[in-house]
Structure formats: C-alpha cells, structure tokens
Structure 1
Amino acid sequence: MQRIILVLALILATVSATNVKQCPDKPFPLAVRVVDCEEPPCVVYKGKYAVMEVHFLGNDNNIKSITATTTARVLGMNLPYILPDEVSDVCLNLLYGAICPIDKDEDVTYQFNFYVEPAFPEITADVTVTLNDVKGEPITCFVVTCKIRKGPTATQREEYLLDWTNPHSE
C-alpha cells in the first residue's frame, strides 16, 4: 500500500513540476514545484513569498541537519541572499510528516518560502537553491529563473475585478 502511495505522490509531483535547471556537478532534485509557475521565468512579486516545493533524496544515512542557501545571478555576478533561520532550516519545513534525521535515498519534500524584499529591483535573475548537509556537502541543487516584479496594489486588484465583472462599464 505504501508503494502505491509513493508512486502516486511521485506522479503528482512530476505532473505539476516546474522546469528548473541543474547545478553543475551537484545532485539534482527529484522535482521542484514553484507555485503558479510551470515554465520559467517565474514571476515573483516584491513584498510577497515565492513558494517552492523541493522533492529530493537523502544523500547519506542519518542526516540530522540540512541548510538551504541561495544566490542570485544578476548582471554576471553571483550575489548571496541570506535566508532567515526559520526558512534555511530545511528540517523545520519538511512536508508530509517527514522529520530529520533523513536516511540515504529517503525521499522528502521541503517547502521553501522565499520572501522577495520590496527593495529588490525589478529584474530577471537566476536563483540557485542548494540544500547542504551538516558537513556542507550539497544534497541537491537547482537553478530557476525569476522575474522580480511589483505586485498589484489592492486598488489595482479592485479595479481589475470591477472591469472584469462588468466589461461595458466606463
């Protein structure tokens, strides 16, 4: 029965997966799903969270700690982006009842809630997300292209809804 559930979970994960790129010389996740984005560049809004689910396999037995790190490639430069502890601690953000320690080849899903700072410029950047074990060895890594944009204000959303519900209004 567990095998059937696992197979169904893998099928569902790959059906809605986002097409991300592999990091050179690092393990690739089983699947990555960026909410509301199947094909990059993924539009992310300033002052909001970009939510990603990273489905990956443990690379060693008894992994007690996993840390997420991010960099953004902008204008040819790789700029580190420091994550808050509550986001970078992968073990705190595992889904579907998974907990650390994680064993070799155990498949788990990490929910990565990436806050897009309002001060970010409106640019397109290649964001690299790496999950590292306690020794700093990469467990998995991927790159996703993101377009950082200003989100609609409440007034703009209301106007859009009014126009949408009554297309003949002046």
Structure 2
Amino acid sequence: MIRLIIALCGFVALVNGQSTPVSRCTAFAGELPIHAYIEGCDTPPCVVRHDTNAVVHLVFRAPHNIRRMRTLASAQMLTMFPHDLKENAETCNFLNNGFCPVMAGEVLSYTLKMYIETIFPPITVNIEFRIVDDDNIPFMCLRVPVRVRTALNTREGLNGTIIDLE
C-alpha cells in the first residue's frame, strides 16, 4: 500500500510539476531520474548565480535495497572536477517522501541544494549529479549544462545619494 502511495506521489509530480530536460551522464554510470526540475530552469543551460543555491528536485526509483545514499557533483571543463556538496551530499536527509533505508523499487522524491560559490568562474559548464549507494556505486546520474553568473546586486542601477542629516 505504501509503495502505491509513493508511486502515485511520483506520478503526480511528473504530471503537475515543471521539468528541466537533462541528459545521460558521460563521465559516470547511472540511470536518468524519472523526473528532474532545476528551479528557474525550463530550458538548459540553466543560469545559476554566485552566493545562491541551485535547487534540483528529483524523482527516482531505488534499484535495490539501500541503507545509505550520497549525492556527488562534478563539473566538466577540460576534465571532471568534483565539487563537495558538504552536508547536502547526504541524500537520505533530503528525501521528501521517505527515509533510509529504502527498498528496491521504491519511488523517491528528493531535493538537492548546491551552493554556487564565488570561486566558480562565470562560464557555461556541464554538471553531472549522481547518487551512489552503500558500496559507492552510482545508480542515478544526470547531466545538465549550467551558466554560472555573478550574484545579482539588488542595489544595482540606483543613483541615489545618502545624506547624513546630523
């Protein structure tokens, strides 16, 4: 019964939710997710800004029983550069409709946040996100181009003068 409810939630997310086209990974193994949506991105390359979180919503199926999952990210420039997701790498902590351990065939909804650091160069790169199991074997992987941009300056364009009236 619980599997039916979880599968129904995943189906509703697919039908009602927005989606972002993603590709199969080229550097790492793993199946594509059932559904992927990167907030603010309907058509890649997805624009991400320094000092913000890129938020990725995923629906995927567990291929086998898994006690612990981790999410890994790598950016492809000339070679693959790993990016430490820190506490956001603990996939089980960010499941929206379940918890670990998960059973084979379970459909899971997951939200990943990746902080876009200011050290990232403002260029377009391919990012590969993969989820690995207890044995560090990737079972889900997606690739998406992202365009890194500097942070929005909310004060930009204001031509005011501040006067001290004391």
**Which has the larger share of helix?**
1
Q: How far apart, CA to CA, are the structure 1 residues paired with 2:103 and 2:6?
A: 19
Contact kept, 8 Å, 1:13 with 1:33, in 2: the verdict is: no
User: Which of the numbers 76, 94, 97 marks the counterpart of 1:73?
Assistant: 76
Identical aligned residues as a percent = 25
Map Cα deviations across residues 12-43 of structure 1 (whole Å, 9 max, x no partner): 33541110001255211101110010110000
Contact kept, 8 Å, 1:57 with 1:108, in 2: the verdict is: yes
Q: How far apart, CA to CA, are the structure 2 residues paired with 1:102 and 1:8?
A: 16
Q: What is the SS of the residue equivalent to 1:12? A: helix
Q: TM-score, normalised by structure 2?
A: 0.84
Q: How far apart, CA to CA, are the structure 1 residues paired with 2:24 and 2:62?
A: 17
Q: How far apart, CA to CA, are the structure 2 residues paired with 1:95 and 1:58?
A: 14
Q: What is the SS of the residue equivalent to 1:99? A: coil
Give 4+ residue runs of structure 1 displaced > 3 Å after superposition.
1-9
Q: C-alpha displacement at 1:7, in angstroms?
A: 3.8
User: Which of the numbers 49, 56, 66 marks the counterpart of 1:52?
Assistant: 56
The residue number in structure 2 matching 1:35 is 39
Map Cα deviations across residues 121-169 of structure 1 (whole Å, 9 max, x no partner): 100010000000011111200001100001211202x75xxxxxxxxxx
- Matched pairs, number: 154
Contact kept, 8 Å, 2:10 with 2:59, in 1: the verdict is: no
Q: Aligned Cα RMSD in Å? A: 2.0
Q: What is the SS of the residue equivalent to 2:11? A: helix
Extract unaligned runs of 5+ from structure 1: 160-170
Contact kept, 8 Å, 1:122 with 1:150, in 2: the verdict is: yes
Q: How far apart, CA to CA, are the structure 1 residues paired with 2:112 and 2:34?
A: 15
The residue number in structure 2 matching 1:121 is 121
